[in-house]
Homo-oligomer: A and B are copies of this chain.
Amino acid sequence: MASLCFQSPSKPISYFQPKSNPSPPLFAKVSVFRCRASVQTLVAVEPEPVFVSVKTFAPATVANLGPGFDFLGCAVDGLGDHVTLRVDPSVRAGEVSISEITGTTTKLSTNPLRNCAGIAAIATMKMLGIRSVGLSLDLHKGLPLGSGLGSSAASAAAAAVAVNEIFGRKLGSDQLVLAGLESEAKVSGYHADNIAPAIMGGFVLIRNYEPLDLKPLRFPSDKDLFFVLVSPDFEAPTKKMRAALPTEIPMVHHVWNSSQAAALVAAVLEGDAVMLGKALSSDKIVEPTRAPLIPGMEAVKKAALEAGAFGCTISGAGPTAVAVIDSEEKGQVIGEKMVEAFWKVGHLKSVASVKKLDNVGARLVNSVSR
């Protein structure tokens, strides 16, 4: 069976499929998605498409950032997913069809209700009140599934932005994040620490969900910050990763982690890569429970720090390790040491890349006017 992005098997899909009507209106299906916030139409008059087709890109994201578990994330440059979206008269009005999936994985479902890009596209169409136009979507995956780099969020972000662009950019970034959250809720729970930076770029602090309250944190453009991303050839045991999370936190660890998250935010706003790395590296709650589940992770962190990284932790739920440094050259040396440690200690092959912050987020790459 084609997989729904990299949804955990513990979270079965269920959506409304009434027997009495073989082709219920698409929105009826969408409205029963198990999300905390239900998507509402936000535009008074149904917009017309301003383009025949658009191509969008959305970047990879690093969620958690150590002590920012479940409320901080950032986008990284140069890695990500592409969506090509076309007005397609052969597709039923108000619906989206997935024509093709290419790139790092093709085993994803082309059923739009079971595909991250499809779910986000449908949610965005619903917000725009699209009833008269059908769309077809091609997804090009640049990110591997289950790497801890926000693969599902990148697909969802690229799709949400593509729909918004093709209809003349009527929705703001918060609304696009809500559309993307419809997809994330299916994949890894209702958390915005990948989808928000995937759409908005830079660092984003998630302050609240009801109502959604996102705080972009701008890293100064004149300061240098590089992420060393090392992805091992290992499928992170998502279920175990979740089960490993403590439900109760000792007060002393709560105070520690909170103060480090606060320092991380100060470091971002002041452009202090050293302080940022130190804070990112200081998680006493989540990383200690998850790192032992990724072979070699503790040695990889040690190797990164010994090679001069300002800090290192698990990207998202892993297995990718992320280290922070202030130059690309140093980043490459650090990456080599991390790859070596994954191999020597974890017996895992891995691939390193050194990336800058992506300050733009999901964006239009090109478009064909009507």
Contact = CB atoms under 8 A, between A and B. Distances in A.
A248 B250 contact: yes
Contact of A205 (B67, B206, B257, B259): B259
B261 A261 contact: yes
B205 A266 contact: yes
A266 B269 contact: yes
Contacts of A263: 205, 207, 215, 265
A262 interface: yes
A264 interface: yes
A221 interface: no
Given A207-B259, A207-B260, A217-B266, A285 B68 contact: no
Interface residues of A, number: 35
A71 interface: yes
A71 B262 contact: yes
Contacts of A261: 258-259, 261-262
Contacts of A264: 262
Contact of A258 (B247, B250, B258): B258
Interface of A: 67-72, 205-207, 215, 217, 245-251, 254-255, 257-266, 269-270, 275, 279, 285
11 contacts: A70-B255, A72-B262, A205-B259, A217-B266, A247-B250, A249-B254, A254-B257, A254-B285, A258-B261, A261-B262, A269-B270
Given A69-B258, A261-B261, A266-B269, 5 more contacts: A71-B258, A205-B263, A245-B251, A248-B248, A262-B262
